[in-house]
Amino acid sequence: MTIGFNGQVAIVTGAGRGLGRSHAELLAERGATVVVNDVVGADEVEAAINRAGGRAVASDDDISTPAGAASLVQRAAEEFGGVQILINNAGVGRFTTLDLASIDEYELVRRSGLDGTFYVTREVWPLMTAAKYGRIVVTTSGNGLLGNPASVTYAIAKAGVYGLMRAVALDGAEFGIKANALAPMASTPMSTEFVSPDMAEMLRVEFPTSLVSPIVAVLASEQCPVSGYTFDAGGGRIGITFQGTNAGFYDRDMTPESILSSWDSVVSRADFVEFASGYESLSMVAASRERALVGIGE
Ligand SMILES: NC(=O)c1ccc[n+]([C@@H]2O[C@H](COP(=O)([O-])OP(=O)(O)OC[C@H]3O[C@@H](n4cnc5c(N)ncnc54)[C@H](O)[C@@H]3O)[C@@H](O)[C@H]2O)c1
pLDDT (0 to 100) of residue 286:
87
232 and 255 assigned to the same domain = no
Strands 33-37 and 9-13: parallel
Question: Please, which residues have CB within 8 angstroms of residue 36's CB and are 6 or more apart in sequence?
Answer: 12, 15, 16, 21, 24, 42, 45, 46, 49, 56, 57, 58, 59
169 and 105 assigned to the same domain = yes
Element counts in the chain: helices (H) and strands (E) = 13, 10
190 and 224 assigned to the same domain = yes
229 is catalytic: no
Question: Please, which residues have CB within 8 angstroms of residue 198's CB and are 6 or more apart in sequence?
Answer: none
Residue 29, SS3 per DSSP: helix
pLDDT (0 to 100) of residue 298:
45
Question: Is residue 3 one of the residues assigned to a domain?
Answer: no
- Of all protein residues, the one whose alpha carbon is nearest to atom 21 of ligand 1 is 18
**Angle between the N-to-C axes of helices 116-131 and 66-80, in degrees from 0 to 180, rounded to the nearest 10:** 30
The greatest distance separating any two alpha carbons of the chain, rounded to the nearest whole angstrom, comes to: 74
CA distance 162 to 183: 10
Residue 234, SS3 per DSSP: strand
26 and 126 assigned to the same domain = yes
DSSP 180-221: EEEEE--BSTTTGGGS-HHHHHHTB--SS--SSHHHHHHHHS
Residue 208's CATH number: 3.40.50.720
* Catalytic position from the list 106, 119, 133, 154: 154
- Cα(257) to centroid of ligand 1, in Å? 47
CA distance 50 to 85: 19
Give residues (CB < 6 A) around ligand 1.
13-14, 16-20, 37-41, 62-64, 89-93, 112-113, 116, 139, 141, 184-186, 188-191
- Cα(90) to centroid of ligand 1, in Å? 4
pLDDT (0 to 100) of residue 206:
65
196 and 286 assigned to the same domain = no
Phi, psi of 10 (to 5 degrees): -120, 135
For 192-214, b/e burial (b = at least 16 CB within 10 A) is eeebeeeebebbebeebebbbbb
217 and 145 assigned to the same domain = yes
151 and 255 assigned to the same domain = no
- Using CA of residue 222, residue 226, residue 232, residue 236, what is the dihedral sign? negative
Ligand 1 pocket mutation, candidates 190, 191, 199, criterion most atoms within 8 A of CB: 190
Under DSSP, the state recorded for 111 is I
- Of all protein residues, the one whose alpha carbon is nearest to atom 36 of ligand 1 is 14
Q: Which amino acid is at 132?
A: K
pLDDT (0 to 100) of residue 227:
98
CA distance 115 to 151: 18
Q: Which of 240, 256, 277 is the last residue of a domain?
A: 240
Phi, psi of 72 (to 5 degrees): -60, -50
pLDDT by residue for the chain (298 residues), tens only, comes to 899 999 999 999 999 999 999 999 999 999 999 999 999 999 999 999 999 999 999 999 999 999 999 999 999 999 999 999 999 999 999 999 999 999 999 999 999 999 999 999 999 999 999 999 999 999 999 999 999 999 999 999 999 999 999 999 999 999 999 999 999 998 877 776 777 888 887 787 665 567 899 999 999 999 999 999 999 999 889 999 999 999 999 999 999 999 999 999 999 999 899 999 999 999 988 888 888 888 765 4
Ligand 1 pocket mutation, candidates 22, 26, 62, 89, criterion most atoms within 8 A of CB: 89
The ligand 1 atom nearest the CA atom of 188: 15
Ligand 1 pocket mutation, candidates 12, 13, 19, 191, criterion most atoms within 8 A of CB: 19
Strands 85-88 and 134-139: parallel
User: Residue 273: which domain range?
Assistant: 245-297
The residues pairing with 57 across neighbouring beta strands, listed in sequence order, are 35
Residue 57, SS3 per DSSP: strand
Task: State how many domains the chain has.
Answer: 2
- Of all protein residues, the one whose alpha carbon is nearest to atom 9 of ligand 1 is 139
The residues pairing with 33 across neighbouring beta strands, listed in sequence order, are 9, 55
